[in-house]
Chain A
């Protein structure tokens, strides 16, 4: 069948809901929380209108239960999905470890939202990055198209390596903003994403198992190694699935870091999620003004693309890491990870951390220009002014 995309104008949240429908998800257990709510409302609407067959919607009383129900569903061998934001994701935290530790390929959309207090419903990556060490893979979408594509790829990757995956989109900037999304006809999605083949199932009554058994000190360690190795192996699978997606549907995701005009760049802006759309636009304008700049969009934060970062770092003089998140007592989380990944290599570009856009603070093309001017001054001088720059601070 020839691929002819179906174009729909949808919000990021509706893009996620359509991807869930097209992925033939069997169980959705979710609790509504702003700004995620319209994802599960749309899925509920699909179910009410008989637009999805063979799906169970479980309305639970909290996010902790949503993840618990997803774990139970996934352990039976079903394809399970949930979605959340901020405090809801934090409430799931304990269960996220159970999902990853039991090697269940659940896919979740987290709509990035700032953690309270002060109470906020706007964009900020600290909620998802706080879940960095739970064993979940993390994909950051730049736009609504990447939300749709990301969910479909996440299921395929998760079910290949038996690890859960988060697809992360920005509150309101994507979740409630409408844009054209090219959707894939159902038959072609089915070819790309065949039914799940689980490692074990609770419903194989001839081979009964228990999940979540006690692991004494003589065995726990080995299972942690297996999980670590699965994360490492996931890099190859991400590359292959992203490449296959590109060959089938024209949008290539084979690289964990998307490079934009970096070939001859003196310095690059690095970041994740929707703000990188702004950065790419700014790069085009800055190039016209004579700046040799590029953008490096980190798509997958877990597993961390250390090798691709090294290749980039070898060829640039400096990297401006834009963090819409912060680890208190240290620095921006992506900055911290990127520096750490390069420490034992011979690539040592100047690296500066800009804390931007926390709690939905607007981040514009003009901001990127100001950062570019600052970066140029740093490169000319050959040393940093400050390592961590609270860029928007009212001084």
Chain B
């Protein structure tokens, strides 16, 4: 399998493919864009309260980007390179474990 678009490289904030040969044959990706990380679109940031989280993973299912991931301890984390702050996770969370807070930059 070719290297997928949006596959995160260590320390990278954005993937830039320099030659046409580096591109995969078909335009498939891990998120809704091919190579752009969408984290810099964000105004609000999701903050997760592990104590309220019941590990239902509804946030993971609803996230339109590959921004929510499941941590080794079973709770969920947020990949801020992809999270564009849309708030769907907070809206869908049945236990209100996710709150959207204004991000200080």
Contacts and interface: CB of A to CB of B under 8 A. Distances in A.
A34 to B, nearest CB: 35
Interface string B9-30: 0000000110010010111111
Given A222-B20, A225-B20, A200 B32 contact: no
A213 B27 CA distance: 7
Contacts of A200: 1, 26, 28
Question: Is chain A's binding surface mostly helix, strand, loop or mixed?
Answer: loop
Contact of A208 (B1, B2, B30): B30
A49 interface: no
Given A102-B27, A226-B23, A214 B4 contact: no
A209 B34 CA distance: 11
B19 to A, nearest CB: 9
B5 interface: yes
Contact of A216 (B1, B4, B26, B36): B36
A208 B28 CA distance: 10
Contact of A223 (B6, B16, B23, B30): B23
B23 A222 contact: yes
Contact of B27 (A207, A208, A215, A218): A215
A317 B102 CA distance: 77
A215 B4 CA distance: 14
Interface residues of B, number: 21
A88 interface: no
A219 B23 contact: yes
Contacts of B32: 210, 213-214
B31 interface: yes
B29 A210 contact: yes
B33 interface: yes
A242 interface: no
Q: Is the interface of B mostly helix, strand, loop or mixed?
A: loop
A213 to B, nearest CB: 4
Nearest to B4: A209
Contact of B25 (A199, A216, A219): A199
A162 B29 contact: no
Task: Tell which of A207, A211, A222, A230 has the most Cβ of chain B within 10 Å.
Answer: A222
Interface residues of A, number: 23
B43 to A, nearest CB: 20
B79 to A, nearest CB: 14
Given A207-B1, A219-B17, A225-B20, A103 B25 contact: yes
B58 to A, nearest CB: 17
B9 to A, nearest CB: 16
Interface string B28-53: 11111111100000000000000000
Interface in B45-90: none
A215 B28 contact: no
Contacts of B4: 207, 209
A222 B16 CA distance: 12
Interface string A72-114: 0000000000000000000000000000011100000000000
A219 B14 CA distance: 13
Contacts of B30: 208-210
A101 B27 contact: yes
Contacts of B34: 213-216, 219
A208 B29 CA distance: 9
B30 to A, nearest CB: 7
19 contacts: A102-B26, A102-B28, A103-B26, A103-B27, A199-B2, A199-B26, A200-B1, A200-B28, A207-B4, A210-B32, A213-B34, A214-B33, A215-B33, A216-B33, A218-B35, A219-B5, A222-B23, A223-B23, A226-B20
Interface of B: 1-2, 4-6, 16-17, 20, 23, 25-36
Interface of A: 101-103, 162, 199-200, 207-216, 218-219, 222-223, 225-226, 230
Given A102-B27, A103-B25, A199-B26, 6 more contacts: A162-B26, A209-B28, A215-B27, A218-B16, A219-B23, A222-B20
Q: Would you list the 3 A-B pairs with minimal beta carbon distance, nearest first?
A: A103-B26, A213-B29, A214-B33
